[in-house]
Structure 1
Amino acid sequence: MHRSYQPLKPITNRYLQQRWDHNNYEHHRRKVSSTLPVVDNKGVRTPAHIQLKLKKVQLQDERLSIIDRDNCLLATKLADIVCSKGLVDHRNHSVQTKYVLIFVLSLNTDRRREELLLVGRQNQAIYQRITSRQSEYRRPLWSDDWERAERRRDDISRYPRRLAEKQRSHRKVKFAAVEGSEQETSCSNTDTDRET
């Protein structure tokens, strides 16, 4: 009896119930083995434009083209050296003039020198215009305007500033010294207020 199937619920046929439970269990195991994870833990797929990195490829191509060009130039120079049979180019194509060395090989030296002289003349003209210009600041007008503004402020204010400066006494008062010598000091407004 202990080996017989013991269902959880009361039933009429143990054998059928065992079969049904076994089928349900197998169906459950098949579903568990074929389930997919709910949480996607595969990570973010990198976009195609980041995988390929076209800018890096372009820079690499440009660098390789520069290297190829330099190699071609070097190869042509070496070929010229080999074909020249050891001859040396010792000709000086420059003509010495007064303080200026002009290269005959350069085609636009005259034009560059003319542009340089033109720029120098323009700079000199600008300097002359700046130094000959009179100043547009008029200090006497500013000082007259400032005095008018101070007069208006004194007229409007309850306690004018200039009146206080006029009332300040500039008299010398003699004080008895501690050790018998006399000192003369100027009196401030508070000292004159105490005297009066």
Structure 2
Amino acid sequence: MQRVPRPALLCGRDYLQHTWEKAYQDHRRKIQDAQPLVDTSAPLSLSHLHLKFKKLKLEEERLAVIDRDNRLLLERLSCIMRTRGQAESRKSHTQKRN
């Protein structure tokens, strides 16, 4: 059986082994000392996702149409109240009676 020749510089190999061992021990110590880091805060909320501008605009337009219709009805009712609604009703009654 042949023996594998050993390198002549054992101190270099020992130094490298020691360096690796030290780095590994430092790594293990850092892992042992590590603290858990979990972000439990609420995610950022974006305002354009909560305020629905299209919906608000459609609601505003709908209310404007309702206000316009209400104003027209009020004008018609006030016209009827001023004329007391007698002109049209008298004509219809007199035509029916004759």
Q: TM-score range by the shorter chain?
A: 0.3 to 0.5
Greater percentage in strand: 1
TM-score (norm 2): 0.47
TM-score (norm 1): 0.25
Greater percentage in helix: 2
Q: Which has the larger radius of gyration?
A: 1
The higher relative CO (CA closer than 8 Å, separation ≥ 6) is in 1
